Amino acid sequence: MNVHGVNDFRQTGIHTAEPLAPEQSALDMEMASEKLKRHKSPGTDQIQAELIKAGGRTISSEIHKLINSIWNKKELPEEWKESIIVPIYKVDDILVIIQA
């Protein structure tokens, strides 16, 4: 096996992948919270976008700390691995289900 001109594979160094993106800045977090849409259903945490927006810089700062902590630990909290899937049927699909 010839790896980049090296005849003996044991001579090649082991390289690890570096993160593709740097940590998020506080400004990035503020901009993201400003883009949140109002009147949308909250996730499993039941925190609505309006509450995050109303918190201003204080909430953005705390979310920033949380996200960077998770980024540095390189592991998601277990609660974030859960999801709820709610089927949204079209009118025609419901009629087929009812008739079956």
Query: Is 68 contained in some domain?
Result: yes
At residue 87 the predicted structure's pLDDT band, cuts being 50, 70 and 90, is confident
98 is written with which tokens? 């009812």
Buried b (16+ CB within 10 A) or exposed e, 16-38: eeeeeeeeeeeeebbeebeeeee
Query: Is 43 contained in some domain?
Result: yes
92 pLDDT exceeds 80?
A: no
Query: Is 12 contained in some domain?
Result: no
Query: Is 24 contained in some domain?
Result: yes
Q: How many domains does the chain have?
A: 1
The residues, ordered by sequence, that sit 6+ positions from 52 with a Cβ below 8 Å of its Cβ are 33, 36, 59, 63
At residue 4 the predicted structure's pLDDT band, cuts being 50, 70 and 90, is low
